[in-house]
A and B are shown apart, each in its own frame.
Chain A
């Protein structure tokens, strides 16, 4: 089994990250925005793993597990917030109600 070349791995990470960012910017549904955020986080994770494999170091995998933990806690908080917003406003449209205007 040959190792994936570094540039291809990073290219995949960059593509995933860009897709996630685009999702956050384009989608208006909060749930989908949260999922796009997850994609961005995983893109970062891929970058770590690829880099770790390139230099044969365990650090990349450790960092990925850390990112996974972050993602899990972030999702739990994010979902709770979304649930509350849905109860208050009965919509998940991010543009529908912006009460935090300065």
Chain B
């Protein structure tokens, strides 16, 4: 079955091409079928391959498939190749599995929208690029996928292009992530020039051989990769684009800005963990960035009224947890949380989408209210997702993955304890902000009319994701509850083992923190229904600590000022003079173009006679 690996990214790509070429010629049904089934078939193949991989793992726990040679120049040979190992296997299953459910949801969600086929063309292209990113066996293939998902993110955020604000949000996302992408590219070039290969496994092997721990080159390379990861995963200081990215349709937010693309940074760091182990400074920074982002995003989520922005900040916060895990060397825990987060965050976004579908795209939670009785499907899905996000002890997947991270942080010495404290406080805030949304939006008095019913294409993805959000955590249980280690056993060949806290105390404290947050939310927002007063503190967190304000003054305005100030400098006047001369000569010469044939003939005759005369006289 392994030989079919190339089909997994190819099928969505094919779907995208069909949808692009058939634009305007296909019926809505055909477009929906092409869009969803191309990813569906890719998922079927991916799961079949995964079954084969788990039953009989290939030698070295990795299967490589070289598709063709891209270029071979100056001793650097780059092939387009796919590599299936446990890490990319997990990512591939998340992308195709959760991706298919979201596509299915979108076929109903997007009904009646202008550009239905275009939407699925972009979405399929995204899945293909994302699969290329995680399956690529060298950095250049990875980078191709990396830029591909960035492009699709841009296209889909600005999908409703008639509103200029959406285009602006798309541009912001593209430019901010581009800053990270540039750092990543420089990092990749550094690796290629110093280690002589772009093959990821080969480069990691060479790095461990030739760079001593803490060497400046390794540190520089790790920091550059971290820059790329922070940009893609919306971590400090490149986090400002994610909340604005919610301008896109909700399935896009679920697939790209929650489940898959934004976790690419986590994947990148896990994939290059050898490099980060060689550069402890960079690894500490990863943990620090994660802790700072998870707190900042948590506070910001508390001060939002738009349900999708709440979820956007919570995504930032949860990816902060993953970065924290990477920073303390709990690689497996980061991937575990990535997996469960993909389930419950996709569920949250889809159920939020299911709510707004029936409320004429109203996203303000204070205008919802009382939806629990009127939209039971959306309510139970959202509640399940919220419970998993808030890490409700024992019964949710989010609990086990968050515990794995915090336990890894606790075991990582003194600096780990600081990160652990941040994570525990973050867990408290998470419970508070997500159940604030639950209580305000789904309980209390109704504020908006509800219309319509859900079809099976909405209910099925919500049900499957709800089940996964509850049971998905059972693949990995801490020692206190039976000690199941399916995921860490699977990841053992590619990622170093995760340290675990020996005592149960940190686990209890963290569980209590989440419960305390939920309890406080119940006390504060059970009888709510009034939007918060606009105190300066509220405004500060509503604007996510004013990073947009800061960047506007620190970067955007100086650049614009410099562009304006430099518009008429001396270099420009040289070129202006050339243009002016050309225009003057043109004005004179065009008089000779009189349109009179006889004048032209005379000119020709005089000219040739003069030429012959000159030739003869000389």
Contact = CB atoms under 8 A, between A and B. Distances in A.
A99 B593 CA distance: 11
A95 interface: yes
Contacts of B597: 33, 94, 98
A86 interface: no
Contacts of B598: 24-25, 28, 33, 94-95
B595 A98 contact: yes
B143 to A, nearest CB: 51
Contacts of B605: 21, 25
- Give the one of B591, B596, B597, B605 with max A CB within 10 A: B597
Contacts of A21: 601, 605
Contacts of A98: 594-597
Given A21-B605, A25-B602, A102 B596 contact: no
B530 interface: no
A98 B598 CA distance: 11
A25 B602 CA distance: 7
Contacts of B590: 102
Nearest to B602: A25
A87 interface: no
Contacts of B601: 21, 24-25
A25 B596 CA distance: 11
B595 A99 contact: yes
Contacts of B591: 102
Interface string A71-102: 00000000000000000000000110011111
Give chain B's interface secondary structure class.
Answer: helix
B404 to A, nearest CB: 78
A101 B593 CA distance: 5
A34 to B, nearest CB: 11
B595 A101 contact: yes
Contacts of B602: 25
Interface residues of A, number: 12
Interface residues of B, number: 12
Interface in B575-601: 590-598, 601
A54 B464 CA distance: 101
Contacts of A24: 598, 601
Interface string B404-422: 0000000000000000000
Interface in A8-41: 21, 24-25, 28, 33
A17 to B, nearest CB: 10
Nearest to B590: A102
A70 B595 CA distance: 25
Contacts of A28: 598
A33 B601 CA distance: 11
Contacts of A100: 593, 595
Nearest to B601: A24
Contacts of A101: 593-595
- Give the one of B590, B593, B594, B598 with max A CB within 10 A: B598
A86 to B, nearest CB: 15
B458 to A, nearest CB: 65
Nearest to A26: B598
A35 B594 CA distance: 24
Contacts of A25: 598, 601-602, 605
Contacts of B592: 102
A28 B598 CA distance: 8
Nearest to B586: A102
A101 B601 CA distance: 15
A33 to B, nearest CB: 8
A101 B594 CA distance: 4
B374 to A, nearest CB: 73
A98 B593 CA distance: 10
Nearest to B595: A98
Interface string B133-169: 0000000000000000000000000000000000000
B469 to A, nearest CB: 74
B345 to A, nearest CB: 66
- Give the one of A33, A99, A102 with max B CB within 10 A: A102
A39 B16 CA distance: 66
A102 B594 CA distance: 6
Contacts of B593: 100-102
A33 B594 CA distance: 18
Interface in B200-251: none
A98 B605 CA distance: 20
A33 B598 CA distance: 9
Interface of A: 21, 24-25, 28, 33, 94-95, 98-102
Shortest beta-carbon contacts, A-B, top 5: A102-B593, A98-B595, A101-B595, A100-B595, A102-B590
22 contacts: A21-B601, A21-B605, A24-B598, A24-B601, A25-B598, A25-B602, A33-B597, A33-B598, A94-B597, A95-B596, A98-B594, A98-B596, A98-B597, A99-B595, A100-B593, A100-B595, A101-B593, A101-B594, A101-B595, A102-B591, A102-B592, A102-B595
Interface of B: 590-598, 601-602, 605
Given A25-B601, A33-B597, A98-B594, 17 more contacts: A21-B601, A24-B598, A33-B598, A94-B596, A94-B597, A95-B596, A98-B596, A98-B597, A99-B595, A100-B593, A100-B595, A101-B593, A101-B594, A101-B595, A102-B593, A102-B594, A102-B595
